[in-house]
Structure 1
Amino acid sequence: MESIGSAPGPPLAPADSALRTEAQEALAALTGRADVGFRDGQFEAISALVEERRRVLVVQRTGWGKSAVYFLAALLQRRRGAGPALIISPLIALMRDQVAAARRAGVRAEAMSSANPTQWEDIEQALEADELDVLLVSPERLVNPRFRAEQLPRLVQRCGLLVIDEAHCISDWGHDFRPDYRRLRDLVAELGDQVPVLATTATANSRVVADVAEQLGSRGEGASAVLTLRGALTRDSLRLGCLTLPDDRSRLEYLAQHLDELPGSGIIYTLTVSAAEDLADLLDRPGRRVRTYTGRTDSEERAELEQALKDNEVKALAATSALGMGFDKPDLGFVVHLGAPSSPVAYYQQVGRAGRATDTAEVLLLPGREDRAIWEYFATASMPAQADADAVLAELARSGAPLSTPALEARVDVKRSSLELLLKVLAVEGAVEAVRGGWVATGASWTYDAERYENVARARRAEQQAMLEYERLQPGDPQQCRMMFLARQLDDDTAAPCGRCDVCAGPWYPLPESGSQTASAPASASAPASASPSGGPGSSREAVSRLLDRVGVPVDPRKQWPQGLDRLEVTSEAGEPLRGNIPPGERVEEGRVLARMSDLGWAVPLRHLLAVDEDGRRVDAELTPAIAQRVVEVLKDWDWAQRPAAVVSVPSTTRPTLVRRLASGIARTGRMQDLGELGLAPGAAPLHGARNSAFRVAALWGRFTVPPQLTEAIAAMDGAPILLVDDEIDTRWTMTIAGRALRRAGSGPVLPLALAQVS
């Protein structure tokens, strides 16, 4: 692998070559500036692609101009008679910006994604007529049977340039690895050595660079090695800081009080969807718009929100990582993180959205106590399990016909999101294939690579530890600097102290009024915070209290049976299949929990109460006075149509003391009849893991009984509502099945109540 760093060196083509003149003119058209020049490495990459048809990996910071390289190379290739460029781009937001930028340079570009299916036919016709210079597609398109069968072979045959944007996604070691990206190894091999290939990223350490370069490597005899152009990754415009506050209330009060002091418009990242939604509700007010942008936001609304941020019509978007790679607002004024990402590299990628065309932008991290628990959840959720893979392959082989994802879900005990990820991994590794009608096994030999997954897991744990080290950097240490720390995590050894961050220059952000100790600023350095235009400290505290002191979170009841119960031999008491709607007379009502585990505020004490030990077993802890009082508040605020007259608890095999005392305490405080608990079928064992809906129902079917004395008590209640109590709600099927047992025993409405909603 040939490599060129950020230091100036001999150009790969003569400085006065005709290609450079042509490329310079095209660059002026792209940027709209006649005086613009190439940055170090840009023309070298273009020359290697156009004149030498090489495979090139560009690792440069955000804002360096990677998109200019591939659009200009595509245009120059087309002028030389080559076919259209195929650009693999991971995000719809990124595609929209890339298409607009290409068209400004006179490059005829279109994108095919889930956001524009009605335009696919027109795009296909334009490709057939050779009227497109660039086609952008997502890596997921490569899995689509129709695209793979009809469009991809023709694109491969005519492709004049392949571009893999955000190429760190190819690598297991990249912070944002995506299984579909690994298909690109096969695509690169199909192209042959005469088609130039460009891979670009701003976030790749040496391990990722080596991995990506290996996957790009030409296999032809005598072919040139991959050329890696790597520049310095430090960003002079960013002013980094980290402020550790004691709890969610303090962090939210700080943000509400000081948001208006941040320059321009920006992004506030959160680790969960519910945190983003709560944050937007807190900060949005007349004259200061704050909106939510998450994976739940539909594509049309995403485009509107992105444009509103670009046009400075909102102060901020409260966003998850769904707003990440490729979003282009050169004058983005700030990035704040309410909770730390699990990797310094992922953090660098997100903060890199700011300050691309401004002298300064402010970047502040507000870490939370819940961060590590959230990191662990996502880390374990992303790793496929061997037992699940074996089960999927066995079912596909047994079927002999394509199986859709819902059909597979009814055959293997794997949660839908995990099943979809697993199918992608198996497809990339050649064990399964997406066809019309679903998935089939290819019959190819496949072995679960336990060593690779363990190595990746080890790397993820090291990244988490590095993120904690970033948070602990202290002001005044001449050997440390936040920007230097991030750059060195990306193996950029050219980085030096920036002189701007809070470690180099002291806190640049207002410190809390209370002068509480922070990780990056000693309490002795604190100064009173000025009142903000948004109403000052008092109104900020009131707004935060309204958010965190909300009483209870509604939980919707299940209304339909999952598909596939007949295959699991789950039938009604009359032997009839369970499908379609759950009869209204057998459903539970809308329930309540104190909080969701992903919420701000109450999630932290609930997470401590509902902890598990080192062996993964649930701890049967005592209810704390604060949480007990919170339960009372939820009950007082519940707007039920008729007050419940009695309490029944779900029998727990893991937290029997907690659940029973919770139920009896509610009955005593609310002056309701304590009817005890439902019966448990003989030999019922603890339920482990988050099963998919069909298998969860099968595991619960017949688990609960209604003892004779409970049936007698229900009959005497004359249809009055019953409160059904448990510790957690996850899939909602436990409450559905237990509540159905009560309804079939003659009870009135059943109202589920639990301490927390897990998912």
Structure 2
Amino acid sequence: MVDESGLRAEAEQRLRALAGEHARLRDDQWSAIRALVVDRRRALVVQRTGWGKSAVYFIATALLRARGAGPTVIVSPLLALMRNQISAADRAGVHAATINSANVDEWDLIHAEVERGEVDVLLVSPERLNNPDFRDLVLPKLAASAGLVVVDEAHCISDWGHDFRPDYRRLRTLLADLPPGVPVLATTATANARVTRDVAEQLAGLTDDRPATAPHEDSPRENSPNGEAANGRAVGGGAGNGGAGSSGPSDEKADEGGDAADTPDADADDAHGAGDTEGTLVLRGPLERDSLHLSVVRLATAEQRLAWLAETLRELPGSGIIYTLTVAATQEIAAYLRDQGHEVAAYSGQTDPAERLAAEQALLGNRLKALVATSALGMGFDKPDLGFVMHVGAPASPVAYYQQVGRAGRGVERAEVILLPGPEDRDIWAYFASLAFPPEPVVRATLATLAEHGTMSTAALETRVDLSRNRLETMLKVLDVDGAAKRVKGGWQATGRPWAYDAERYARVAAERAAEQQAMLGYISTGECREEFLRRHLDDDTAKPCGRCDNCTGAHRSVDIAAAAVTSARERLHRPGVEVEPRRQWPTGLKELGLSGRIRPELAAEPGRALGRLTDIGWGNALRRLLGERAADGPVPDEIFDAVVMVLSSWRWAARPVSVVTVPSTTRPVLITTLGERLAAIGRLSYLGSLTYRQGPPGRQHNSAQRVRALRATLAPPVADVSGGPVLLVDDRVDTGWTMTMGAMLLREAGAPAVLPLALATTN
């Protein structure tokens, strides 16, 4: 018979060590701890940010370890989150270690410590679960010896969640292999009723045979595991092609940050709802955040939003986060705010890891007013006194938005939450939706290629499957989870197991994503309580008018901005010119074309220039209108041409070009030809015409190897002599960079001493 009163007293003592002398357990915290330690069952905790979900698993770990249980395995999605959790675990009196991509040199030591019983908590990333060595050698031992398994940010398990990731679905294998009686805890702050039910069913083992759904592309985003829109092709978008679209920019955008502190009146707002879903205990609480003061400020232009942001930042309390949808926007906005005297830094998944950590520490130490960040700053960032969260651009769903604003006001009485939506937001959402799960013929062709060739690396497979590298890798992860493919040493293999393409389900998820986008537009335009609106979309049936937001109080923020501030912002945003780095390395798999390894210097392009990025909040809007799929072809507009001339005038090239060559275009021949001709005339250069296609344009290819192969077969130099001096090679946009690379190689082979790429827009 367990002495529950003594056990709770021990749990309370552990909490005070973790969160301070005045902390005490909430009712639902104790219910979860009791379920894990006494009943050894599976539980799902859905509670708001700052409620103390991490306290549950650290205290449960301490109690279980004291009673002879094995180590706790926490599946955690982000390095920043792991850093906070290790610190919190130490305060709770348990020794934590992590295995992730940043500490490869320590893995053997950590594995040995785990086997000797010296590690109480082992944090692993979901991606690590399918590393062949870890999956085959380490994971079985962990599953056999684990005393508790924790799934943090459990909404990532569900395709209905705002941040589904296929790697999380591998947890089904881990949970299925656990010995009887090993408790499991899943936690999240961002699950509506549909996601809650889905996760609870998966914990109970009810959905192991269900086909996995289409992924949210792992990088809106940054085309990297960081999950956010990069300086990528976040423009125009287009409908998905048979799969579920992404709900928005955020692979690193979930919630619980290891915050365990609970106040003396913690039970007052617990109002919890407990239930069972086929054996999983579900503890779901209200999501009210009574420190948050929500408002929306609608301004017509990007320069107005930027000027308003700079002025308002001087008035906001403490330090905070300014979220953007793209990497390009973090850089633009941070640069402008620094020009205005604000201490800010840009932060994204493309930021160097050491710089990211330094930026986090600077904000935690209040040495910065704000981090201008993508959703890469989200999960795991624990700053209780964060005074504000602002968004320049709206996330694609109310669920994702409420998760991000939940970073603020966890340890202060009042925090400002301000959304500055822009017309470009829908273009970025459409881009994410276009990165849906590939159509069935592409998936079948991939499996057939694997079946024919055996083990293949992603790079080798890329030469035979027309998908971008990131989209291909994400598809392979889904096929792995479904059992149709398997990751092994050296790459991927087909398993030969039957596999069904669940188009109907993909379509339902895509429709859900579209509905979320409409709901976000509804949040922007609503005249009702903003917090109630968001909580209702999280299926929080306790939601009621907050009495604090701009609609409840009628205190809407002024949109008046000094004309000089708007002018300054316009000048900053419309400062033309982006450097375009040339390609340095050929894709793999092209040796038969004589293209392998590094691109020889005598065939390479020089560093190039573009007027702007398609994701810029300055030139981006004009360039998207000019280059959008529905834009009509026509002569280059004077405004655009004048800006390109400014780019050329500031270009510090080693040798001035003597001629202009254009890239052939099937969609905008007039635009490109007039741009080339006018540049030649104003610069007193020779216009030598266009590169040509031997047998028609190569069409659209989605990955590097396919693109280079197609261009090599079709692209030809102009007839004119190009040997007289450096050539300015002009195109409308640089996407993968391979057209410019191949064009430069052809011109260099034809005698050009140097090639200077120039484009109106770049997506990188």
**TM-score normalised per structure 2:** 0.87
- Aligned with 2:124 (options 127, 137, 144): 137
- Aligned with 1:685 (options 674, 678, 697): 697
- Aligned with 2:197 (options 210, 217, 225): 210
Contact 2:688–2:718 (8 Å) recurs in 1: no
Q: Distance in 1 between the 2:23 and 2:682 partners?
A: 74
Contact 2:295–2:419 (8 Å) recurs in 1: yes
Q: Distance in 2 between the 1:584 and 1:157 partners?
A: 55
Corresponding residue of 1:421: 474
Counterpart amino acid of 1:265?
S
Percent identity over the alignment is 55
Equivalent runs, 1:108-257 vs 2, <5 Å: 108-217=95-204, 225-257=279-311
Contact 1:340–1:371 (8 Å) recurs in 2: yes
1:685-718: CA deviation from partner (whole Å, max 9, x where unpaired): 35225x211111011013223354x13xx35xxx
Counterpart amino acid of 1:641?
A
Contact 1:403–1:440 (8 Å) recurs in 2: yes
Equivalent runs, 1:495-534 vs 2, <5 Å: 495-507=543-555, 509-513=557-561
Larger Rg: 1
Counterpart amino acid of 2:525?
R
Corresponding residue of 2:215: none
Counterpart amino acid of 1:459?
E
Corresponding residue of 1:80: 67
Corresponding residue of 1:670: 683
- Aligned with 2:379 (options 325, 328, 332): 325
Range 285-294 or range 449-458, more displaced: 285-294
Corresponding residue of 2:624: 607
- Aligned with 1:19 (options 4, 7, 31): 7
1:411 Cα deviation after fit? 2.9
Corresponding residue of 2:499: 446
Which runs of 5 or more structure 1 residues have no equivalent in the other structure?
Answer: 1-12, 475-479, 515-536, 572-576
1:193-225: CA deviation from partner (whole Å, max 9, x where unpaired): 4111111100001110111011011579x9962
How many equivalent residue pairs?
A: 696
- Aligned with 2:646 (options 630, 633, 636): 633
Equivalent runs, 1:403-482 vs 2, <5 Å: 403-474=456-527, 480-482=528-530
1:559 Cα deviation after fit? 2.7
Determine which structure has greater relative contact order: mean sequence separation of CA pairs < 8 Å that are 6+ residues apart, divided by chain length: 2
Q: Does 1:294 align with 2:321?
A: no
1:460-497: CA deviation from partner (whole Å, max 9, x where unpaired): 111111111111123xxxxx211001100100121111
Range 223-232 or range 103-112, more displaced: 223-232
Corresponding residue of 1:594: 611
Q: Distance in 2 between the 1:453 and 1:70 partners?
A: 34
Aligned partner of residue 267 in structure 1, secondary structure: strand
Corresponding residue of 1:578: 595
Q: Distance in 2 between the 1:86 and 1:68 partners?
A: 15
Equivalent runs, 1:641-680 vs 2, <5 Å: 641-680=654-693
Q: Distance in 2 between the 1:299 and 1:581 partners?
A: 26
Corresponding residue of 2:264: none
Q: Distance in 2 between the 1:14 and 1:623 partners?
A: 79
1:662-684: CA deviation from partner (whole Å, max 9, x where unpaired): 212222333322222222213x1
Q: Does 1:564 align with 2:589?
A: yes
Contact 1:115–1:300 (8 Å) recurs in 2: no
1:16 and 1:706, CA in 2 relative to 1: closer, same or farther beyond 3 A? closer
Counterpart amino acid of 1:162?
V
Contact 2:89–2:96 (8 Å) recurs in 1: yes
Contact 2:698–2:710 (8 Å) recurs in 1: no
Counterpart amino acid of 1:565?
L
1:440 Cα deviation after fit? 1.7
Contact 2:292–2:414 (8 Å) recurs in 1: yes
Corresponding residue of 1:752: 757
Aligned partner of residue 751 in structure 1, secondary structure: strand
1:517-556: CA deviation from partner (whole Å, max 9, x where unpaired): xxxxxxxxxxxxxxxxxxxx74x55653453132211111
Q: Distance in 1 between the 2:607 and 2:567 partners?
A: 29
1:603 and 1:219, CA in 2 relative to 1: closer, same or farther beyond 3 A? closer
Q: Distance in 1 between the 2:205 and 2:461 partners?
A: 38
Corresponding residue of 1:695: 706
1:127 and 1:494, CA in 2 relative to 1: closer, same or farther beyond 3 A? same
Q: Distance in 2 between the 1:225 and 1:505 partners?
A: 44
Corresponding residue of 2:260: none
Contact 2:531–2:546 (8 Å) recurs in 1: yes
- Aligned with 1:30 (options 18, 21, 38): 18
Q: Distance in 2 between the 1:686 and 1:333 partners?
A: 53
Equivalent runs, 1:310-349 vs 2, <5 Å: 310-349=364-403
Range 283-292 or range 695-704, more displaced: 283-292
Contact 2:304–2:561 (8 Å) recurs in 1: no
1:42-79: CA deviation from partner (whole Å, max 9, x where unpaired): 11111111111121111100001100111111111112
Contact 1:609–1:623 (8 Å) recurs in 2: no
1:430-454: CA deviation from partner (whole Å, max 9, x where unpaired): 1222222222222222222212221
Aligned partner of residue 191 in structure 1, secondary structure: coil
Q: Distance in 1 between the 2:760 and 2:360 partners?
A: 37
Contact 1:654–1:686 (8 Å) recurs in 2: no
Q: Distance in 2 between the 1:107 and 1:16 partners?
A: 22
Q: Distance in 1 between the 2:561 and 2:354 partners?
A: 41
Q: Distance in 2 between the 1:441 and 1:16 partners?
A: 51
Corresponding residue of 2:569: 544
Q: Does 1:395 align with 2:449?
A: yes
**TM-score normalised per structure 1:** 0.88
| TM-align CA RMSD | 2.2
